Structure 1
Amino acid sequence: MSFRRFLIKRTVIAAILTLVSVSIIFATLRLLPSDPFSGLVASGSLTADQVTKLRAMYGLDEPIYVQYLKYVRNLFTFQFGVSLTQQRPVGTIVVPALVNTLVLLLPALVVTAIVSSIAGMYAGWNRGSWFEQWSIVTTTFFRATPIFVTGIFLLIIFSYGLNWLPAFGMRSPMANPQGYAETFLSVDFLKHYILPFTASVLFFSGDFLMLARNSIVERKGSEFLKLHRAKGLSEREQLARAGRNSLLPLVTYFALRTGMIFQGVITLEVVFAWPGIGRALVQAILNQDYPTVQAAVFIMALAVIVMNLTADLAYAKLDPTIEAGDV
């Protein structure tokens, strides 16, 4: 199979998965026993006539298939509508929240990928050493521990116990940053950043370390290394050559993990009150804010699907036998 056909096939599959994902989002919200305005009548905030007008304004009185078609069209053109509870464009809610999430998680993922991969290669090259045993036990422990549990323990130790770092939010209540530098490079922001960043790094580290370690173990006894050993290459040079040959699974897994970056983000942002897309999603669900929920989940699902597609294409490009054997 040519790379072009492989690209078309994977792109079509990604498009279908995206459509299925947004359809599930739509169906789930419409199956709820009440709509966002039902409680307003019960509480006496609005009359039944006013709620009827609101439902018509937001198109909730239209046939379900009409709502679905408009919903799909708007999502795929990134027209997310107006928040039912905040009465402002959804884009002004989810886009800044998405930026805050990426500022937290992308650096954590990059740092983890580099440090854990190097540590994993060293551990695999020195099998049976104390470093290998210690690194496997430690990273496996943090990978098996839910990220919100790690976050809570960090809060207990460094915020409430030692009182070294702030517990909640992205900045102090009195802070009024002006511009990007003051928002993301100030000392106040960095103090709030340390604990959620650390929790993310600990959570991500196990996968990269074990993948790098296993790749090195597989290649340590390979013929090409035996040849380099016979040529008199030092241990460091042999490890460097084995490491280069182990990059393929690490590169593709990095793409996959980037797509799955939102895994655990909801609980992490709730624990640290981080104003990211996960916390915005929780608030929108509690308020039954359909447009905001739809936009937030759509962005998360799209990120996973796009990065899975990127991983497939990267693997096929780096290893032609993948696309050749794909049917």
Structure 2
Amino acid sequence: MTFRRFLAKRTLIAVVLTLISVSVIFATLRLLPAGPFSGLVASGSLTPEQVEQVRAMYGLDEPMYVQYIKYIQNLFTLQFGISITQQRPVGEIIIPALVNTLVLLLPALVATAIVSSLAGMYAGWNRGSWFEQSSIVVTTVFRATPIFVTGILLLIVFSYGLDWLPAFGMRSPLANPQGYAETYLSVDFLKHYLLPFTATVLFYSGDFLMLARNSVVERKGSEFLMLHRAKGLSEMEQLGRAGRNSLLPLVTYFALRTGMLFQGVITLEVVFAWPGIGRALVQAILQQDYPTVQAAVFIMALAVIVMNLTADVAYAKLDPTVGAGDV
């Protein structure tokens, strides 16, 4: 199979998975026993007649298949509609929240990948050393601990116990930053950023460390390293050669993990009250805000599917036998 056919096949699969994901959330929301306006009727804020008018305004009185077609058209043209609870465009809610999530996750993932991969290579090269044993134990403990538990422990120690760092939010209540530089580079932001950043790094460090360690262990006794050793290369130079040959699984895993991070971000953002897309999704679900829930789930599902596609393409590019052998 040529690379073009491989790419076309994987892209088609990604499109089908996206359609399945958005269809599931469409059906799930509309099968809920209580609609988005039931609370307003119960509280007396709206009469049943007014609710019907609002339902018509949002197109919820139309046949289900008509709602579905419009829903698909709007999602794939990034027309997310108007929030039912906040009465403003969903894009104004979701896009800033997505930026906040990416600001939290991407630097944490890059730092984790670099530091943990280097540590894993060193541990694999020095198999049986105290460094390998202690690094495996520490990272395994944090990987086995749910990320929200790690976050809560960090809050207990550094926010409530030592009172070194703020507990919640992305900035102080009275802060009024102007522009991205003041928003994301200020000292106040960095203080709020440190704990969720640390929780993310601790949780995912074990994956990269073990992957890099295992790759180096597999290559340590290979013929090409024996040749380099015969040429008189130093230990660090041999480790560098082994590390470069271990990049294939690390690169593809990085792409996969970038998409899967959105699964863990929901609980992390709730714990730290971080105004990201995960927290926006939880609030929208509690309020049964259909347009916001649909947009948030669409973006998160799309991120996972696109990064899986990226991992497949990266693997096929780095290892041509993958694309050639995929029938």
Q: TM-score, normalised by structure 1?
A: 0.99
Paired residue for 1:185?
Answer: 185
Deviation string for 1:188-245 (max 9, x for gaps)?
A: 0010000000000001101000000000000001000011111111101100000000
Q: What is the CA–CA distance in structure 2 between the aligned matches of 1:128 and 1:13, rounded to whole Å?
A: 43
Match of residue 176 from structure 2 = 176
Equivalent residue number for residue 50 of structure 2? 50
CA distance in 1, matches of 2:46, 2:71: 26
Structure 1 match to 2:77: 77
What is the DSSP-based 3-state SS (H/G/I as helix, E as strand, rest coil) of the residue aligned with 2:168? coil
> Structure 1 stretch 252-261 or stretch 86-95: which is displaced more?
252-261
- Provide the residue aligned with 1:23 in structure 2: 23
- Residue type of the partner of 1:100? N
Q: How far, CA to CA, are the matches of 1:24 and 1:240 in structure 2?
A: 47
Q: Who is 1:243 aligned against?
A: 243
Equivalent in the alignment of 2:259? 259
SS at match of 1:209: helix
For residue 265 of structure 1, what is the amino acid of its counterpart? V
Give the drift of 1:261: 1.8
Percent same amino acid at aligned positions?
86
Looking at structure 1, the residues matched to 109 and 178 of structure 2 have their Cα atoms a distance apart, in angstroms, of: 27
Cα deviation for residue 305 of structure 1 reads 0.3
Offset from partner CA, 1:9-34 (integer Å, 9 cap, x none): 00000000000000001011011001
Partner of 1:271: 271
Alpha-carbon distance between aligned partners in 2 of 1:15 and 1:143, rounded to the nearest angstrom? 32
Q: Which residue of structure 2 aligns with residue 123 of structure 1?
A: 123
* Aligned counterparts of 1:263 and 1:136: Cα–Cα separation in 2: 24
Alignment of 1:310 with 2:310, yes or no, is: yes
Give the Cα–Cα distance (whole angstroms) in 2 for the partners of residues 57 and 150 of structure 1: 44
CA distance in 2, matches of 1:254, 1:48: 51
Query: How much has 1:41 moved relative to structure 2?
Result: 1.4
Q: State the SS of the aligned residue for 2:261.
A: coil
Equivalent residue for 1:199? Answer: 199
Using the TM superposition, give the Cα deviation of residue 263 of structure 1 relative to its aligned residue in structure 2, in angstroms. Answer: 2.1
Measure the CA separation in 1 of the matches of 2:200 and 2:320: 34
One-letter identity of the residue aligned with 1:270: V
Q: Distance in 2 between matches of 1:274 and 1:153?
A: 17
Output the CA distance in 2 between the equivalents of 1:18 and 1:241: 39
**What is the aligned partner in structure 1 of residue 34 from structure 2?**
34
Instruction: Look up the equivalent residue of 2:67 and give its one-letter code.
Output: Q
- The answer for unaligned runs of 5 or more in structure 1 is none
**Cα shift at 1:181:** 1.1
d(CA) in 2 for partners of 1:38, 1:242: 62
SS of match in other structure, 1:83: coil
Query: Which stretches of structure 1, 4 residues or longer, exceed 3 Å deviation after superposition?
Result: none
Matched residue SS, 1:175: coil
Letter in 1 for 2:145: T
- Matched positions, count: 327
State the distance in 1 between where 2:64 and 2:29 align.
12
Q: Deviations over 1:37-61 (max 9, x none)?
A: 1221121111111001000000111
| Residue of structure 2 equivalent to 1:300 | 300
* 1:317 to partner: Cα distance: 0.7
Q: How many Å apart are 1:163 and its aligned residue?
A: 0.3
| CA distance in structure 1 between the partners assigned to 2:217 and 2:288 by the alignment | 51
Deviations 1:67-108 (A, max 9, x none): 111001100110000000000000000000000000001000
Aligned-pair CA distance for 1:180: 1.1
The superposition leaves residues 227-272 of structure 1 with CA deviations (integer Å, 9 ceiling, x where unpaired) of 1111111101100000000001100110111111212111100110
Match of 1:325?
A: 325
Residues in 2 aligned to 1:180 and 1:315: alpha-carbon distance in whole angstroms? 35
Q: Distance in 1 between matches of 2:280 and 2:42?
A: 26
Distance in 2, matches of 1:191 and 1:25, equals 36
Which consecutive unaligned segments of at least 5 residues does structure 2 have? none
TM alignment of 1:103-182, pairs within 5 A: 103-182=103-182
2:178 and 2:79 mapped to 1: Cα distance? 28
| Farther-moved stretch of structure 1 (256-265 vs 218-227) | 256-265
Q: Report 1:96-107 matches (<5 A).
A: 96-107=96-107
CA distance in 1, matches of 2:82, 2:231: 68
